[in-house]
Amino acid sequence: MAKKIDEKEVETKLELTDIPGIGPIAEEKLKAAGYGDVFAIAVATVGELVEKAEVTENVAKKAIEFAREHSNMGFKDADEFEKMRANVFRINTGSKELNKLLGGGVESGVITELAGGFASGKTQLAHQLAVNCWKDHKGLTVYVDTESTFRASRIEEMAPDVEDILKKVKIGKAYNSDHQMLLCEKVEKMITEEKLPIKMLIVDSLTAHFRGEFIGRGTLSERQGKLNRHLRFISKLADIHNIVVLVTNQVTTDLGVFYGNPDKPIGGHIVGHTSCFRLFLRKGAKGSRVAKLIDGPVPEGEAAYIITEKGIKDI
C-alpha cells in the first residue's frame, strides 16, 4: 500500500512506488522505459502507462492523477518563469555568425531542426556540435544514426587536441523507425545511469525511416501520427532534462513552385510545430554554406560559414 504523502512535500522526494498502484515490478518496467520520476508520470498519458508498466487503465489513471497532485504543474509568474530559464545553455556551432542567428548557439530544452538537401552540411554541423558539447560543457552526446552518416574520424579531425573525444559520443544505429524511437526512449534511462552528464541528443536524420516505410498518400495519416508521438517524446525529454535536441531533416521538392526555392522539409506541420528553431541549410558561393532561420523565437535571418577539415568556421 502506498504511504500517505504530505501535500507540501516536493515531488522530487517521492519514489515511483509511492504512487498508488505502482509496485516494484511496475517501477522497474517504468524506469526501463525512461519514466524515472514522479513528474515523468504526471506528464504521461494513460495509454503510455498501460503499455510500459503493464497496468490496467484504471490504475494508470489513478497514478497520473496522484503524480499531478504532487507535481508543480500550474501557472507561474512570467518573472519566475524567466528565472527558470537561467539553466538554459547553448552549444557553440563553431561560427560566430551562426551563433548570433540562433541567439547565442543551439539552445537546450527545445528541439532544433536542420533541414536541407544532399550535401548541404547537416551532418557536418551535427558532428561539430557533438565535439563542442564536450569541449564547452563537458557533456556527453547521444547520436542516433539512421543513414550511416556518422564518422568517428570526423569527430577526431574536429577535436585533435581533446583526449578520448570518441568516448564522449554514444552512438546508436537505427535500422527502422521503431528502432529509432526505442533508442531515443533509452536516452532517459541513460541520463540517470551515465557517470558523466548527457547534454545533447542528435537524431540524424529524423525522417529517413518514416519516409521510406510509409509510402503513398494512403499511409500519410499513420506516418504523421507515429512521427508526432516520436517528436512529443523527444520534446518532453529536452524540456524535463534540459538537454539540447538536434534533429536533421530531409527535404522534398514541390513541383508546383515556379519561383523561389521549391525544396521544403519533410514532415509537414508535425515537424514544423514541434521544432522551436528551424534552420534551412544550402550551398553558397565558393564552397560556403548558408543557414536560413525559417522559424524560431528570435528574428529570422541568414548566416554564412564554411566547412573545413577542422570543422565549422566563419568565412
Q: pLDDT (tens digit, 9 = 90+) per residue, 31-78?
A: 877 787 898 899 888 998 998 889 999 999 999 999 999 887 778 788
Distance CA 131, CA 108 (A): 16
Angle at 261 between CA 210 and CA 123, to 5 degrees: 50
Burial readout 106-120 (b: 16 or more C-beta within 10 A, e: otherwise): bbbbbbbbbbbbeeb
Please give the CATH topology (third level) of the domain spanning 11-69: DNA polymerase; domain 1 (1.10.150)
Per-residue confidence in pLDDT tens, the chain, 315 aa:
334 444 434 445 789 999 999 999 999 888 877 787 898 899 888 998 998 889 999 999 999 999 999 887 778 788 887 877 889 999 999 999 999 999 999 999 999 999 999 999 999 999 999 999 999 999 999 999 999 999 999 999 999 999 999 999 999 999 999 999 999 999 988 998 899 999 999 999 999 999 999 999 899 999 999 999 999 999 999 998 999 999 999 998 877 777 777 788 999 999 999 999 999 999 999 999 999 999 999 999 999 999 999 999 999
Q: Which CATH number fits domain 84-314: 3.40.50.1860, 3.30.230.70, 3.40.50.720, 3.40.50.300?
A: 3.40.50.300
Q: Enumerate the H helices of the chain as residue ranges.
A: 24-32, 38-42, 46-53, 57-69, 78-84, 96-101, 122-137, 152-158, 177-193, 208-213, 220-241, 268-274
Dist. CA 277–CA 113, nearest whole Å? 6
Residue-range domain boundaries for the chain = 11-69, 84-314
139: left (phi over 0), alpha (psi -120 to 50) or beta: beta
